[in-house]
Amino acid sequence: MSYFLRLDKKKKGIYLQMYERYWDSSLKQARTKSVKAFGYVDDLISDEISDPVAYYREYVSKENEKKKDENRPRAFREEIEKNIGYFLLSSLIDELKVKEDIDILSSVKNFQFSVYEMISQLIYSRVIYPCSKSKTVSSVFPKLYKYSPISEDQIYDGLSFIGENYKKYIELFNHQYERFYKRRYDRLFFDCTNYYFEIDLPKDDKQKGPSKENRKEPIIGQALLLDSELVPLAMEMYPGNESEKPYIRKIIEEMKRRYKVEGKTVQVADKGLNCARNIYAAVKEANDGYIFSKSIHGTGLSDTEKKWILLENSANRYTDYKDENGKIIYRLKSCIDEFEYSFKQIDEETGKEKTIRFKVKEKRVVSYCPSLARKKKAEIAKMIEKASNYSSYKNLSKEELGESSKYISIINKDDKGKKVKPLITLNEDKINEDLSLAGYNLLVTSEVKMDDLEVYKTYHNLWKIEECFRITKSFLEGRPVYLQIQETIYGHFLICYLALFLLRVLEIKCFHNKVSSYDIIEFIRDFRVVKKDEDTYINISSNQKVNTKIKQVTGKTNLDALFLTDKEIERLFTKTILID
């Protein structure tokens, strides 16, 4: 049977999945099952993927071709195909020189295998062909050009060991990274996501909470921190039923302590992390700064502020930023004022709840993007249509309506306050307000001297952290998670994090953003050889476009050669070819 791309219409938009058609012999009929989830179309759009539907349709087509090749009988009896594209990752790990320290960390256990080799091979395998630990051991490890045999049981033991102290391994890679590149901490980018588990009942950190994929299964949270150059800096795992808001404070405080960071840091995060407690922690406790987005819908913003956003006169003029053709890309304006915040917390001495009030001098930068306005208005139109379809109270379900419920008003009392038969109408005031604010976005920052454009561009670097989550979930297949033991789960996410870290170092520092992480992954998966005789291999890689890109940035001119000898392949794995 074959794969196909399935497009599901859900509350948040079109959800893409790869399904497989297969024959159910017991039912004697054709059926389908989900093989891989890609995500929502809107979330998948990036500089590399402008049309997710077309992109993943092509991806599914390639997977069908691979399946045909797997089912095609081979002329040789044993597996002689080897992947050598991972020389990029292997060379980088060698240059970081983490082996000695990992060997010391693992010396407390009497393992009959190398933890360093296990970590390295799991990272390579995660990029080459992410799959179950069992299949990784049996099918992916043997395809590595150079590999050490490690059993499935040893993998689970090793993952549990490194997962128990996963922050030590992150600190190790960071420490070795700084031997070559000095970290910049003046801007820190933070965001959170979660991963679901194929289990019914919550256990340990696997708890039910708001899922990014709208799943009902237990989830686990992950906080991610990027440095000023958008290279991953730290990761924190937390229970799925906990709020993400405290973790920006926790992870930054711990990072500063671990790496002895001094000086001011500007924390950058989206509206989900924008709360009075986090602002207080940044400016009052840590003497840091912040750039947060702020919701312009609902009760989060006063009517006065909403009027200011829409107001344009001589004193409140927007500045237009245009492309080379004179078309407006976005518009910006700002104001500076003192704003009051408050939050409640438990007093450590009395044990009673108290209210903390404070003021912050803050710049507010509002942007208007025409393309975002068109997108938002289209989304609002869909929600209005959905809300209009409900004609009776019995059919009304907030769960079914989702966000569309905000456009419905239920009148169940008359002018005198007497209960009457419920009348369902559209909330025209809310609809008109949202339509008028479509395309606008509000940023709040403590950096009152920072230029409006710099504030805007700094905040919009957050798309890189969203891309990190997309790579981890879709390309490294960090989800769904089938592991059960907490330490093993953390070990799994450590491997995913380290794979992401290495890919980003290659992209940003080694290749100076000339090659994307997507291209690096594609090259690593594609660059394979088949052994012809004792000393010669045939290069069966087929993606010449990405092959050429890697050849240019690495200076390796023989990547597209038909024949490669053992010596030539060994040279690809030679150290000191990536880090200057």
Q: Could you please report the per-residue DSSP string of 170-232?
A: HHHHHHHHTTTS----SEEEEEEEEEEBS-SS-BTTBB----TT---S-EEEEEEEE-TTS-E
Structural contact between residues 383 and 366, judged by C-beta atoms closer than 8 angstroms: no
Burial status of residue 538 (CB atoms within 10 A of its CB: 0-12, 13-18, 19 or more): middle
Residue 384 lies in domain: 373-437
Angle in degrees, 0-180, between the axes of helices 115-128 and 99-106, rounded to the nearest 10: 120
State how beta strands 187-196 and 266-269 pair.
parallel
- What pLDDT sits at residue 76? 37
Report which residue type is found at 154: Q
The token duo for 98 is 């983490």
Strand, helix or coil for residue 537 = strand
Residue 61 lies inside a defined structural domain of this protein:
yes
Region at 523 (left for phi over 0; alpha for psi -120 to 50; beta for the rest): alpha
Residue 424 lies inside a defined structural domain of this protein:
yes
DSSP state of 396: -
Tens place of pLDDT per residue across the chain (580 aa): 678 898 888 777 888 888 887 766 666 566 778 888 888 888 888 877 888 888 899 888 888 877 765 554 444 334 578 999 999 999 999 999 999 999 999 999 989 999 999 999 999 999 999 988 888 999 999 999 988 999 999 999 999 999 999 999 999 999 999 999 999 999 999 988 888 776 555 556 656 656 555 666 788 888 899 999 999 999 998 887 778 888 888 888 888 888 888 888 999 999 888 889 999 999 999 899 999 999 887 667 888 888 999 988 877 889 999 999 999 999 999 999 999 999 988 887 788 888 999 999 999 999 999 999 999 999 998 888 888 877 555 555 556 667 777 888 877 777 777 777 777 788 888 889 889 999 999 999 999 999 999 999 999 999 999 999 899 988 888 776 666 788 999 999 999 999 999 999 999 999 999 999 999 999 999 999 998 888 899 999 988 889 899 988 888 878 888 999 999 999 888 865 556 5
Measured CA to CA, the distance from residue 407 to residue 399 in angstroms comes to 14
Q: Which of 29, 44, 73 is the last residue of a domain?
A: 73
- What pLDDT sits at residue 69? 59
Residue 453 lies inside a defined structural domain of this protein:
no
Burial status of residue 350 (CB atoms within 10 A of its CB: 0-12, 13-18, 19 or more): exposed
Residue 25 lies inside a defined structural domain of this protein:
yes
Residue 120 lies inside a defined structural domain of this protein:
no
The token duo for 475 is 């390309």
Buried b (16+ CB within 10 A) or exposed e, 308-347: bbeeeeeeeebeeeeeeeeeeebbbbbeeeeeebeeeeee
Q: What are phi and psi of 49, to 5 degrees?
A: -125, 90
Concatenating the DSSP letter of every residue in 136-175 gives IIIIIGGGBSS-----HHHHHHHHHHHHHTHHHHHHHHHH
Structural contact between residues 222 and 507, judged by C-beta atoms closer than 8 angstroms: no
Rg (CA), the chain: 27
- What pLDDT sits at residue 537? 92
Of the candidates 571, 425, 491, the one whose C-alpha atom is nearest the C-alpha of residue 115 is 491
DSSP state of 47: S
Q: What are phi and psi of 318, to 5 degrees?
A: -80, 145
Buried b (16+ CB within 10 A) or exposed e, 194-208: bbbbeeeebeebbbe
Angle in degrees, 0-180, between the axes of helices 370-388 and 428-437, rounded to the nearest 10: 160
Q: Which of 73, 102, 130 is the last residue of a domain?
A: 73
Cis before 480? omega within 30: yes
Q: Based on the structure, what is the number of domains in the chain?
A: 2
The token duo for 555 is 């200076």
Structural contact between residues 18 and 34, judged by C-beta atoms closer than 8 angstroms: yes
Contacts of 184 (CB under 8 A, 6+ apart): 227, 228, 229
Residue 345 lies inside a defined structural domain of this protein:
no
Q: For the sheet with 81-83, list strands across it.
A: 81-83, 528-531, 536-539, 563-565
Report the 10 Å Cβ neighbour count for 20: 18
Residue 19 lies inside a defined structural domain of this protein:
yes
Structural contact between residues 116 and 102, judged by C-beta atoms closer than 8 angstroms: yes
Q: Which of 41, 73, 105 is the last residue of a domain?
A: 73
Residue 380 lies inside a defined structural domain of this protein:
yes
Report which residue type is found at 37: A
Cis before 422? omega within 30: no
- Residue found by looking up tokens 């890189």 in the block: 464
Total residue length of the chain? 580
Report which residue type is found at 361: K
Looking from the CA of 540 toward its CB, the CA atoms found within 13 Å total 13
- What pLDDT sits at residue 74? 43
Region at 175 (left for phi over 0; alpha for psi -120 to 50; beta for the rest): alpha
Of the candidates 8, 14, 10, 18, the one whose C-alpha atom is nearest the C-alpha of residue 43 is 14
- What pLDDT sits at residue 36? 85
Buried b (16+ CB within 10 A) or exposed e, 442-468: bbbbbbeebebeebbebbebbebbbbb
